[in-house]
């Protein structure tokens, strides 16, 4: 009696294997899934970093036309500049995020990471802040940069500020773009994405999930889907745990919550589920913005100098109140 059952099991496994293998071969021959030639990628590259060793390099804010000055270290990380090697007595904070963390539109000394360091030092803390923000970054690029460069700075506290770009609506998600452009670095780190059948099934599932509240208000798909966003937060927690650092979640505030609502809710859920401290000043900043000009009138996604100062002050108060800094 046992033999027929075993034979049926082997037959089923072999049949399934042949079906999946045949499907994979057929999809590869047909070149499915295919890139839609009518849709452009958000970025030409999957991974990028600011040019290294810049010294007060003038950049132009395209919306305002104003020039701001940027300095970077040997790895393309913006001021405040510190050696990659950390001294034994210094507590090091790393701020992660996109151009909002980088400080697009303001000079080095006006960015929130720079001001956060100055504020904490003035309050008597032996602190260094590493500005890990990069323009255009999502948590997808952030994970790559962590492995490539950021982990080597050995931060004691990492502030996860990815939300503004993760929430954006695009033609292709970041992971889909990596697959369609055949990015080898991504494919080597994500074995399943080498299989066309897996990618096709994932695309179908994501299309089904992109309904109701999870659908971007601008149409299209999120650069980082809600499911991937959760996975990326978990991966960052594992990465920081591995070097003995703490992870803090930060819902970077915009003038209005707008399209970031879905991912902002996920941050709150992740904070509860993973037991991570969360600072989300979005409601407060909507009140502040009604009374002060904290963002560029032509670009309400990026804080101006006054907005960066307000953010730095809020982050410092949270860190001290939560005893996240010595």
Q: Which of 152-161, 176-185, 280-289, 306-315 comes out lowest in average pLDDT?
A: 176-185
pLDDT of residue 203: 63
The ranges assigned to domains in the chain are 1-30, 57-321
Task: Report residue 66's pLDDT band, with 50, 70 and 90 as the boundaries.
Answer: very high
pLDDT at 26: 74
Give the pLDDT band of residue 2 (cuts 50, 70, 90).
low
Asked if the model's pLDDT at residue 260 lies above 50, the reply is yes
% of residues, the chain, pLDDT over 70: 83
Structure tokens at 244: 């003995």
Within a 10 A sphere around the Cβ of 272, how many other Cβ atoms? 9
Measured distance CA(122)–CA(118) in Å, rounded: 6
Asked whether the bond before 98 is cis by omega within 30 degrees of 0, the reply is: no
33-45: pLDDT as tens digits: 666 655 677 778 8
Mean pLDDT of the 96-118 span = 98
pLDDT at residue number 156: 98
Regarding pTM above 0.75, the answer is: yes
Secondary structure (DSSP) of 261-322 = HHHHHHHHHHHHHHT--EE--HHHHHHHHTTS--EETTEEEEE-HHHHHHHHHHHHHHHHHT
pLDDT at res. 212: 45
Q: What mean pLDDT do residues 130-152 have?
A: 98
Greater confidence (211 vs 32) lies with 32
Region 52-61 average pLDDT: 97
Average pLDDT over the chain reads 89
Distance CA 235, CA 245 (A): 13
CATH class held by domain 57-321: alpha beta
Distance CA 30, CA 89 (A): 59
- Within 8 A by CB and 6+ apart from 319, the residues are 93, 120, 157, 248, 325
Q: Are 203 and 70 in contact (CB under 8 A)?
A: no
User: Mean per-residue pLDDT for 151-161?
Assistant: 98
pLDDT band at 177 (very low <50, low <70, confident <90, very high): confident
Task: Label residue 244 by pLDDT band (50, 70, 90).
Answer: very high
What average pLDDT does range 5-9 have in this prediction? 72
Strands 169-170 and 278-279: unpaired
């Amino acid at each position: 009696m046992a033999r027929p059952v075993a034979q049926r099991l082997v037959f089923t496994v072999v049949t399934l294997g042949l079906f999946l293998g045949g499907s994979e071969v057929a999809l590869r021959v047909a070149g499915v899934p295919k890139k839609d030639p009518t849709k452009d990628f958000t970025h030409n590259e999957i991974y990028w970093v600011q040019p290294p060793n810049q010294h007060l390099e003038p950049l132009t804010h395209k919306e305002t036309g104003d020039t701001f000055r940027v300095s970077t270290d040997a790895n393309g990380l913006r001021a405040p500049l510190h050696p990659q090697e950390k001294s034994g007595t210094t507590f090091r904070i790393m701020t992660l995020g996109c151009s909002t963390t980088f400080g697009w539109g303001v000079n080095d000394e006006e960015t929130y990471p720079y001001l956060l360091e100055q504020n904490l030092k003035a309050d008597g803390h032996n602190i260094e802040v590493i500005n890990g923000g990069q323009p255009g970054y999502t948590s997808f690029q952030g994970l790559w940069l962590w492995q490539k460069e950021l982990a080597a700075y050995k931060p004691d506290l990492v502030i996860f500020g990815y939300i503004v770009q993760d929430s954006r609506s695009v033609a292709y998600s970041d992971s889909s773009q990596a697959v369609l452009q055949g990015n080898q670095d991504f494919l080597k780190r994500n074995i399943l994405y080498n299989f066309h059948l897996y990618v096709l099934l994932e695309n179908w599932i994501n299309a089904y999930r992109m309904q109701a509240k999870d659908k971007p208000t601008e149409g299209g798909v999120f650069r980082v889907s809600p499911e991937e966003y959760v996975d990326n937060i978990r991966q960052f927690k594992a990465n920081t745990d591995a070097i003995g650092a703490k992870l803090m979640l930060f819902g970077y505030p915009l003038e209005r919550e707008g399209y970031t609502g879905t991912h902002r809710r996920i941050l709150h859920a992740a904070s509860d589920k993973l037991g991570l401290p969360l600072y989300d000043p979005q409601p407060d900043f909507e009140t502040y913005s009604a009374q002060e000009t904290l963002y560029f009138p032509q670009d309400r996604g990026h804080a101006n100098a006054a907005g960066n100062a307000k953010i730095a002050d809020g982050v410092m108060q949270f860190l001290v109140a939560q005893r996240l800094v010595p």
